[in-house]
Amino acid sequence: MPRLPGEQLRIRRREKRIKEQAYYGIVREKKKREKEYDQKRGTASERGYDKAWSKVRKLKLRKDPLCEECLKKGRTTPAVLVHHIVEISEGGARLEMDNLMSLCRDCHERIHGRK
């Protein structure tokens, strides 16, 4: 038996509401996990990104303003991030220019396996 227009409308609204509640539940959970991660991670200065790092970072970006990975592939992309070649946690020098490379966001994400 065909449904009445009002009944169909109520069903659609209910389905939409259920989908929205599920979506926002997922969003709330994601924000909660991100907040917990950030609290465990510590502040930027606690992780070594202090005034000295800021100066070295600026120097590196002035010296190498283009993404070093993109240049190897023949592309010219502005660098926006400075990456430690050998991670600090693995004994890499935090402020040594030889341990740094200028990267665009895409190359940095690729190196860290986020894309």
Contact status, residue 107 vs residue 70, Cβ threshold 8 Å: yes
Please indicate whether residue 1 or residue 62 has the higher confidence score (pLDDT). 62
Based on the structure, what is the number of domains in the chain? Answer: 2
88: containing domain: 51-111
Same-domain check for residues 75 and 100: yes
Q: How far apart are CA 1 and CA 15, in angstroms?
A: 21
Question: Percentage of the chain with pLDDT > 90?
Answer: 46
Q: Is residue 46 part of a domain?
A: no
Q: What is the pLDDT of residues 16-71, one digit of tens each?
A: 888 888 888 888 888 888 888 888 877 877 777 889 999 999 999 999 999 999 99
Q: How far apart are CA 14 and CA 54, in angstroms?
A: 52
Burial 4-36 (b: 16+ CB within 10 A, else e): eeeeeeeeeeeeeeeeeeeeeeeeeeeeeeeee
CA angle at residue 94 from 72 to 60, to 5 degrees? 45
Please indicate whether residue 72 or residue 18 has the higher confidence score (pLDDT). 72
Provide mean pLDDT across the span 77-95.
Answer: 91
